[in-house]
Structure 1
Amino acid sequence: MPNKNLAIRTVIFSLLGNIALATIKFIAGIFGNSYALIADGIESVLDVFASVLVLIGLRYANRPPDENHPYGHGKAEPLITFVVVVFLIVSASTIAYQSIQHILTPHELPENFTLWVLGAIILWKEISYQIVIRRSIKIKSNSLKAEAWHHRSDAITSIAAFIGISVALYFGEGYESADDYAALIAVLFIVYNSYKIFRPALSEVMDENNHDELISRIREISLQVKGVKGTEKCFIRKAGMEYHVDLHAHVEGDLTVTEGHDIAHLLKDKLQKEIPQLGHVLIHIEPA
């Protein structure tokens, strides 16, 4: 439960930050004559909707198991991540389209103060990224990782805008569209980050076997339980912030059913105590 509450508080932190930044970017972009900032603002608006979806997804994923969902609702988290990726792609496409339109349409140079605004935004977004990514790693949350990369992609877009506006202001007339070209470059980074977010979520939905470190730890802990002679098959499925485990454990072949059953319970309790993020643990007893 503490991990789940931490995830929800983190998304609320991102949501409030995105609302504030979207407002600042639009105001600065309109009065500072910078489409790169306005494009940044468009991305932040989409980030707000994405954060709301992540928040809804986390709350649903944290619901306890029920009759129709005996393994809980954790799979909702990667599904929400897919939606967040769609938002990122829509954001990138919107920025690319509008940037091309502005490149084809002559406009004035950006104002100097937009650089100060962008500098503050870049700093805040990188701080936000570091906070959210650390928490996503701590609680093993793909949707929080997607939220973190939203901050990083926003920072990258702002850096590109900062460079573009700097070029436009330094070289002057004839370079008015430099920030628009910078926004196009930022689009490439956003698309790349979208893939980095999408791939782990797809892995989770498809139950890919990429939990070697956790499997090794489970086998090591299992041998500490009295009566367990070894382990064989160990299958893991990730659902949200929990890992469901199917484990085959070897015991002496001449034990009674009751004795084997007791060892299985001891092993299950030991694993869930040592590895709190484990959800369902199914132990299959086999003769050594």
Structure 2
Amino acid sequence: MDREQMAIRTSYFSIAGNTGLAIIKAVAGILGNSYALIADAIESTTDIFSSLLVLLGLRYAQRPADENHPYGHGKIEPLITFGVVAFLVFSATVIAHESIDHILTPHQVPEPWTLLVLGGIILWKEVSYRIVMRRSRLTDSTVLAADAWHHRSDAITSVMAFIGITIALLGGPGYESADDWAALGASGIILYNAYLIFRPALGEIMDEHVYDDLIEAVRTSALTVDGILGTEKCFVRKSGMRYYIDLHALVNGDLTVTQGHDLAHRLKDRLLEDFPSVEEVLIHIEPA
């Protein structure tokens, strides 16, 4: 399975999981008198839409380069990530607002069985986080990493709900709003996770220099090509799941233009062979 197809299948996995959990949380929250679970359901509902956004972005990014987009359509990924972050901020805001309303309004203590529901949810969301994050690393997909953090933030809100409901049940009268305070705390954690997702996506859009390991590997690989005496500038930028490299290579200054041209092509072929995630390499020949 290629990287693009792996990413798309992973987004389907997220959509299915979030849909099922949103229903379970909403039903359990309403029947079990737990706003923390209802808040969890709200976040899972926004997760569905953000995962759909991820799927659309991944499919669009697969489009080949054209006259208007010579570097392909991969930059849609960090743009979609910004949309995922917006969903996170929205869900955190809704949860915070509703939590404060419930804190100010007397209500019943959550049912004890809601803890069993939360325990299963926490386990599933953490497993989902690990699956999606591992695949984001395999595919170098920024937007899949954002989707993975959505799963992790959902697990965190569920942990906070578990703690809040436990306190409410053990504390008895006067502690009915403990799960609401837990939901309020979870909203802050979600906002922090939104920043963690936003920052690398911004760096990708701005072509930030964050690929030192790849640059070092490219320089090492270049020296294995006969005739390449060294390397100077090496710039790497990312578009979707693919990398674009600009490399200045040092060669014998007595080579003819044709010889230098042929050597540049051999170097490019070697780099494309050694680094499957690299889409294009631009070689500039420098006399040593």
Classify the TM-score, shorter chain. Answer: over 0.9
| Alignment correspondent of 1:175 | 175
Are 1:192 and 2:180 matched, yes or no? Answer: no
Once structures 1 and 2 are overlaid, which stretch shifts more, 198-207 or 250-259? 250-259
CA shift, 1:126, in A, is: 0.3
Instruction: Give 2:72's aligned amino acid.
Output: G
1:197-256: CA deviation from partner (whole Å, max 9, x where unpaired): 000000000001111111000000000001101111111111111110110111111111
Instruction: Give 1:188's aligned amino acid.
Output: G
Are 1:108 and 2:108 matched, yes or no? Answer: yes
Q: 2: CA distance between counterparts of 1:93 and 1:188?
A: 9
1:26-57: CA deviation from partner (whole Å, max 9, x where unpaired): 00000001000000000000000000000000
Instruction: Give 1:34's aligned amino acid.
Output: S
**Secondary structure, aligned partner of 2:73:** coil
| Alignment correspondent of 2:28 | 28
| Alignment correspondent of 1:287 | 287
Instruction: Give 1:38's aligned amino acid.
Output: I
| Alignment correspondent of 2:162 | 162
Q: 2: CA distance between counterparts of 1:287 and 1:174?
A: 79
**Secondary structure, aligned partner of 2:286:** strand
Report how many residues are paired: 288
Q: 1: CA distance between counterparts of 2:62 and 2:197?
A: 21
CA shift, 1:173, in A, is: 1.1
CA shift, 1:139, in A, is: 1.4
Q: 2: CA distance between counterparts of 1:256 and 1:238?
A: 33
Q: 1: CA distance between counterparts of 2:140 and 2:206?
A: 17
1:45-101: CA deviation from partner (whole Å, max 9, x where unpaired): 000000000000011111111111110000000000000000000000000000000
Once structures 1 and 2 are overlaid, which stretch shifts more, 131-140 or 112-121? 131-140
1:233-288: CA deviation from partner (whole Å, max 9, x where unpaired): 11111111111011011111111111111111111110011000001110011111
**Secondary structure, aligned partner of 1:69:** coil
CA shift, 1:138, in A, is: 1.5
TM-score by length of 2: 0.99
Which runs of 5 or more residues in structure 1 are unaligned?
Answer: none
| Alignment correspondent of 1:207 | 207
**Secondary structure, aligned partner of 1:68:** coil
Q: 2: CA distance between counterparts of 1:125 and 1:268?
A: 43
CA shift, 1:105, in A, is: 0.5
| Alignment correspondent of 2:87 | 87
TM-score by length of 1: 0.99
Taking only aligned residues, the RMSD between alpha carbons, in angstroms, comes to: 0.7
Give aligned-pair identity as a percent.
65
| Alignment correspondent of 1:125 | 125
Q: 2: CA distance between counterparts of 1:148 and 1:165?
A: 26
